């Protein structure tokens, strides 16, 4: 709050012109909260003094639900966590079960998982880019990424039979090989894609308004980001080099060459740049995986009925939003005893208070966009 000057203190109008903080309820029905996120803002004018997140509007009890399904039947449920990055969610769950079972996933299946996973990452980032730009007011940017995302969803449909929630992997490998004619389409997409990203960057990265709206807004230091255990591009925007694909390589990620884009200042602009550059790297990974695709089996040795031994396992993947972890416990039966999801959206959302304090309402909108949250994953 601003300090009162002497003239203001002695002013006879003081009683009349007293300013007050007020509370503004943002969400759960607000176009910029990307679903049913609710924030209660304490405002001084348009400046945010404090904010509180209220969650739970999309809680569907997914973790509990999984306990009433067999290990196999539980797989499609986890697609519904982060419904715009479904393939990566599925990867995390089947990875955890495979770890507990001790199944070796064939190398070809691992490579296919990399291809599909990175395509999903690109699709997720494209959707994020469009909606984030729309939040900041750039209307056309919603439509250009959708055009490219459509190609990816078509590829999913051709291979997996579903566009959004494809239930991509069975436990132990992949269900299908690439269908005929799939790979050329994918390669054509990869060839065109960097040019498309250049187009997006041409509209935003150098745009004065975009830079003014994002640089220096929603800053979070590397120290705070680690303390709040943020992950994914939200963490890397602050310059912390942590990517599960590099740090704990899974599914043959060690075979591929790619860079982990890092930011410097931890503001909205850096997080934006991280994600945009990550899309280029993902395209690079897919290219390498398609070029070096090994021959072989699609599925490891898994029985018809899956009964993991008594015990627990934790498996973590780099999902589109950040580090997605599955902690599973088996009592030796046909059903999971417990599946706990460490979801990146939920953890990253913790950072919003630190980022928003002292900024304006319009910045809060930009910050929510830069966190790339999906409420299906926040509430589970």
Partner 1 sequence: MSRLARSAGNRGSTPREAKRAMTYEVLLNTVGWPLAKIVVLLAAVLTVVAYIGWFERRLLGLFQSRLGPNRVGPLGLLQPVADGLKLFLKEDIVPLNARPFLFKLAPVFAFFPAFLGFAVVSWALPWATPSGRHHGFVVADVDLGILLVLAVSSLGIFGIILGGWSSGSKYPLMGSLRSASQMLAYEIPLTLSVIAVILLGGSFRLSDIVAAQQKLGAYFILPGLLAFGVYLISAVAETNRVPFDLPEGESEIIGFHTEYSGMRFGFFFVAEYANMVLISVIAASLFLGGYDLPGVDDAALYAAHPNLASALGVFAFAAKSALFAYFYVWIRATFPRYRYDQLLRIGWVVLLPIALANVALVALLKLWLLR
**Rounded least distance, CB 132 to partner 1, Å:** 10
Name the percent of the chain in helix, strand, coil, to the closest 5.
Answer: 50, 10, 40
**Rounded least distance, CB 24 to partner 1, Å:** 6
Please give the Cα distance from 17 to 343 (Å, whole number).
47
Q: Which residues contact 42 (CB under 8 A, 6 or more apart)?
A: 21, 22, 23, 48, 49, 50, 51
Please give the Cα distance from 234 to 258 (Å, whole number).
19
C-beta of residue 162 within 8 angstroms of C-beta of residue 152: no
Judged by DSSP in three states, 38 sits in strand
Reported as half-sphere exposure (CB side, CA atoms, 13 A), residue 174 has a value of 25
Structure tokens at 338: 């417990």
- Which of residues 207 and 229 has its CB atom nearest to partner 1 in the complex? 207
Q: At what angle do helices 182-204 and 107-135 cross, to 10 degrees?
A: 30
Q: Is 210 in the site for partner 1 (CB under 8 A)?
A: yes
- Which of residues 136 and 160 has its CB atom nearest to partner 1 in the complex? 136
Q: Is 137 in the site for partner 1 (CB under 8 A)?
A: yes
Please give the Cα distance from 96 to 92 (Å, whole number).
6
- Residues touching partner 1: how many (CB under 8 A)? 30
Q: Is 267 in the site for partner 1 (CB under 8 A)?
A: no
Q: Is 140 in the site for partner 1 (CB under 8 A)?
A: yes
Among 349, 365, 373, 375, binds partner 1 (CB under 8 A): 365
Q: Which residues contact 296 (CB under 8 A, 6 or more apart)?
A: 106, 107, 108
Tell which positions 24-63 bind partner 1, by CB under 8 A.
Answer: 24, 30-32, 46
Q: Is 303 in the site for partner 1 (CB under 8 A)?
A: no
Among 213, 245, 271, 380, binds partner 1 (CB under 8 A): 213
- Which of residues 98 and 363 has its CB atom nearest to partner 1 in the complex? 363
Q: Is 361 in the site for partner 1 (CB under 8 A)?
A: yes
**Rounded least distance, CB 258 to partner 1, Å:** 30
Tell which positions 106-135 bind partner 1, by CB under 8 A.
Answer: 133-135
- Which of residues 41 and 222 has its CB atom nearest to partner 1 in the complex? 41
- Which of residues 12 and 195 has its CB atom nearest to partner 1 in the complex? 195
Please give the Cα distance from 291 to 74 (Å, whole number).
33
Q: Is 209 in the site for partner 1 (CB under 8 A)?
A: yes
- Which of residues 162 and 207 has its CB atom nearest to partner 1 in the complex? 207
CB count within 10 Å of CB 47 equals 16
**Site residues (CB under 8 A) for partner 1?**
22, 24, 30-32, 46, 133-140, 142-144, 147, 203-204, 207, 209-210, 212-213, 360-363, 365
């Amino acid at each position: 709050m601003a300090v009162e000057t002497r003239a203001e203190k002695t002013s006879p109008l003081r009683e009349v012109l007293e300013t007050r903080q007020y509370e503004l309820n943002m969400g759960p029905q607000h176009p910029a909260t990307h679903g049913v996120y609710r924030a209660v803002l304490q405002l001084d004018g348009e400046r945010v003094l404090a904010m509180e997140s209220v969650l739970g509007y999309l809680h569907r009890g997914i973790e509990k639900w999984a306990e009433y399904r067999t290990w196999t039947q539980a797989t499609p449920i986890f697609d519904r966590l982060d419904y715009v990055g479904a393939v990566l969610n599925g990867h995390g769950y089947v990875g955890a079960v495979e770890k507990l079972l001790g199944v070796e996933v064939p190398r070809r299946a691992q490579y296919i998982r990399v291809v599909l996973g990175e395509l999903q990452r690109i699709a997720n980032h494209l959707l994020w880019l469009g909606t984030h730009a729309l939040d900041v007011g750039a209307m056309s940017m919603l439509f250009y990424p959708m055009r490219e995302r459509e190609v990816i969803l078509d590829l999913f449909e051709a291979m997996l039979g579903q566009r959004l929630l494809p239930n991509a992997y069975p436990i132990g490998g992949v269900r299908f090989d690439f269908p005929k004619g799939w790979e050329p389409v994918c390669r054509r997409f990869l060839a065109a894609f960097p040019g498309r990203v250049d187009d997006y960057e041409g509209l935003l990265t150098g745009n004065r308004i975009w830079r003014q709206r994002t640089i220096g807004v929603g800053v979070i230091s590397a120290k705070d980001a680690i303390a709040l255990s943020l992950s994914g591009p939200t963490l890397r925007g602050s310059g912390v080099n942590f990517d599960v694909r590099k740090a704990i390589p899974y599914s043959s990620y060690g075979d591929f060459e790619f860079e982990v884009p890092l930011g410097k200042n931890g503001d909205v602009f850096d997080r934006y740049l991280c994600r945009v550059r990550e899309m280029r790297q993902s395209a690079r990974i897919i290219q390498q995986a398609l070029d070096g695709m090994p021959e072989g089996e699609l599925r490891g040795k898994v029985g018809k009925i899956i009964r993991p031994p008594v015990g627990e396992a934790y498996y973590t993947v780099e999902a589109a939003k950040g580090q997605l972890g599955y902690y599973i416990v088996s009592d030796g039966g046909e059903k999971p005893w417990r599946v706990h999801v460490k979801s990146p959206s939920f953890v990253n959302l913790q950072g919003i208070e630190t980022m928003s304090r002292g900024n304006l309402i319009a910045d809060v909108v930009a910050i929510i966009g830069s966190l790339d949250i999906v409420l299906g994953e926040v509430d589970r």
